[in-house]
């Protein structure tokens, strides 16, 4: 039974990371046209912080309703992260009390997403989780994602494997919907800049081959910056005059400051290497079209690159277990191995590659699921299903 359509339900959509922008812009555009859902962006953490580009401005420019929930994410240690979750939980409890949402949407696997989920669960607000059921076993993100799944009441997953994994966690089948990755919806929107526009905006030489790098701290490792250090060691061997290298800014995790400092020092020795604090989703996808290969340990290396398709090199264990298309080469965090992986990736056949993460129509599916979602009481009362398996 669907709820009474006489009043649109308020959907509080939490955005805490620059990466959220790619996954939220098109669903928000679709929901803005819905007579049944009233979306409000709960902007928090890095989305509000100038050092990470103040991504909240994009939400304002798009005309979305934005409710800021300040929470400082200057993370240098795990202790800082733990304290941030506590402060953010209080801030979100106050924000939810102020706007009284009917539903709260949390995205993916960032540790700070535990804060709005904690507050919503305690306040009996149904939670919608986007991108559950995936794996990134080299980071604490994996445990966070699974915790959010069990706290949530509706699941918007990207792949069939992710759907099966959420069902295996005991979630009822009617709650689990495969919608695809909304970041791919940008590819059908006709907003991807060409090389000339990208070069003018970002200042790189259009004539040089490009390597696009997205490297983040490995939060389960004793040295979170190890992958980045080995990648820089490999890239240092490439002649500056023959390559453009563009780095995306690392995530706000333990080890981020060290990575940013190391990349900044690397850039000072080269004319054709750049790091950008914020790369809007359209710009990122434009660079994926333009670059010779993409390298790093970010989920974007795996999720968006197959749809171009672009050769991709995935470094280390951060994304261990996540689904891959055959445009991806996995490699240990070792400079020699990384350089060999570059050559392997360049030799791959790029014809006929299928992206397991979707087809660019996630936003319309997300809107439909939310419009047809049951009433609050049915959503809140969960049962755990038993998955039958082989006898032990």
Model pLDDT for residues 111-120, shown as the tens digit of each residue = 999 999 999 9
Quickly name the fold that domain 9-181+358-380 has: Rossmann fold (3.40.50)
CA quadruple 303, 304, 308, 314: dihedral sign: negative
Domain 9-181+358-380 identical in fold to domain 195-346: yes
Confidence of residue 389 (pLDDT cuts 50, 70, 90): low
CA quadruple 230, 233, 238, 243: dihedral sign: positive
Cβ atoms of residues 126 and 376 within 8 Å = yes
What's the rounded Cα separation, in Å, for the pair 338 and 137? 20
What tokens were used for 181?
């990755």
Q: What percent of the chain has pLDDT over 70?
A: 97
pLDDT reported for residue 387: 72
Cβ atoms of residues 71 and 110 within 8 Å = no
What's the rounded Cα separation, in Å, for the pair 156 and 22? 16
pLDDT digits (tens, 9 = 90+) for 47-91: 998 888 788 999 999 999 999 999 877 778 889 999 999 999 999
Confidence of residue 38 (pLDDT cuts 50, 70, 90): very high
In Å, how far are 27, 68, 175 from 167, measured between CA atoms? 24, 34, 9
Confidence of residue 141 (pLDDT cuts 50, 70, 90): very high
SS (H, E, C) the chain: CCCCCCCCEEEEEEECCCCHHHHHHHHHHHHHCCCCEEEEEEEEHHHCCHHHCCCHHHHHHCCCCEEEECCCCCCCCHHHHHHHHHHHHHHHHHHHHHHCCCEEEEECCCHHHHHHHHHHHHCCCCEEEECCCCCCCCCCHHHHHHHHHHHCCEEEECCHHHHHHHHHCCCCHHHEEECCCHHHHHHHCCCCCCHHHHHHHHCCCCCCCEEEEECCCCCCCCCCCHHHHHHHHHHCCCCHHHCEEEEECCCCCCCHHHHHHHHHHHHHCCCCEEEECCCCHHHHHHHHHHCCEEEECCHHHHHCHHHCCCCEEEECCCCCCCCCCCCEEEECCCHHHHHHHHHHHHCCCCCCCCCCCCCCCHHHHHHHHHHCCCCHHHHHCCCCCCCCCCCC
> What pTM was computed for the model?
0.94
Q: Supply φ then ψ for residue 371, to 5 degrees.
A: -65, -30
pLDDT digits (tens, 9 = 90+) for 208-247: 999 999 999 999 999 999 999 999 999 999 999 999 999 9
pLDDT reported for residue 1: 38
Residues 6+ apart with CB under 8 A from 19: 108, 251, 299, 300
Residues 6+ apart with CB under 8 A from 244: 204, 205, 208, 209, 210, 211, 272, 273, 274
What's the rounded Cα separation, in Å, for the pair 126 and 160? 24
pLDDT digits (tens, 9 = 90+) for 318-347: 999 999 999 999 999 999 999 999 999 999
**Domain parsing of the chain, residue ranges:** 9-181+358-380, 195-346
What is the chain's mean pLDDT, rounded?
94
Report the DSSP beta bridge partners of residue 40.
12
Residue 80 CB coordination number (10 Å): 14
Quickly name the fold that domain 195-346 has: Rossmann fold (3.40.50)
pLDDT reported for residue 5: 56
What's the rounded Cα separation, in Å, for the pair 230 and 244? 18
Confidence of residue 392 (pLDDT cuts 50, 70, 90): very low
Residue 279 CB coordination number (10 Å): 24
The Cβ-side half-sphere exposure at 292, using a 13 Å CA radius, reads 17
What tokens were used for 136?
């990134």
pLDDT reported for residue 4: 54
């Amino acid at each position: 039974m669907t709820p009474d359509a006489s009043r649109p339900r308020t959907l509080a959509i939490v955005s805490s990371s620059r990466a959220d922008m790619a996954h939220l812009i098109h669903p928000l555009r679709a929901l803005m046209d819905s007579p049944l859902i009233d979306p409000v962006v709960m902007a928090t953490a890095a989305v509000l912080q100038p050092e990470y580009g103040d991504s909240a401005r994009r939400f304002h420019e798009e005309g979305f309703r934005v409710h800021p929930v300040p929470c400082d994410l200057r993370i240098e240690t795990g202790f800082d992260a733990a304290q941030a979750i506590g402060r953010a939980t209080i801030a979100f409890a106050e924000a939810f009390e102020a706007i009284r949402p009917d539903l709260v949407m949390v995205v993916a696997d960032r540790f700070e997403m535990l804060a709005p989920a904690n507050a919503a669960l305690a306040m009996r607000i149904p939670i919608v989780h986007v991108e559950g059921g995936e794996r990134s076993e080299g980071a604490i993100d994996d445990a966070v994602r699974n915790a959010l799944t069990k706290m949530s009441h509706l699941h918007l997953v990207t792949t069939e494997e992710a759907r099966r994994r959420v069902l295996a966690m005991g979630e009822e089948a009617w709650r689990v919907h495969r919608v695809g990755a909304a970041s791919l919806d940008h590819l059908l929107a006709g907003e991807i800049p060409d090389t000339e526009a990208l070069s003018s905006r970002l200042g790189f030489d259009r004539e040089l081959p490009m390597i696009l790098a997205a490297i983040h701290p490995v939060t389960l490792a004793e040295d979170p910056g190890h992958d980045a250090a080995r990648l820089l060691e490999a890239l240092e061997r490439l002649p500056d005059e023959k390559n453009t290298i563009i780095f995306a800014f690392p995530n706000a995790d333990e080890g981020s400051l060290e990575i940013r400092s190391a990349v900044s020092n690397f850039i000072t020795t080269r004319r054709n290497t750049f790091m950008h604090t914020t790369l809007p989703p359209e710009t990122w996808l434009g660079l994926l079209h333009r670059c010779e290969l993409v390298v790093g340990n970010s989920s974007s290396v795996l999720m968006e690159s197959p749809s171009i398709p672009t050769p991709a090199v995935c470094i280390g264990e951060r994304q261990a277990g996540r689904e891959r298309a055959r445009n991806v080469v996995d490699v240990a965090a070792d400079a020699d191995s990384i350089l060999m992986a570059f050559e392997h990736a360049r030799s791959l056949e790029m014809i006929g590659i299928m992206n397991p993460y979707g087809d660019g129509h996630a936003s319309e599916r997300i809107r439909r699921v939310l419009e047809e979602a049951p009433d609050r009481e049915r959503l809140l009362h969960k049962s755990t299903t038993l998955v039958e398996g082989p006898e032990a």
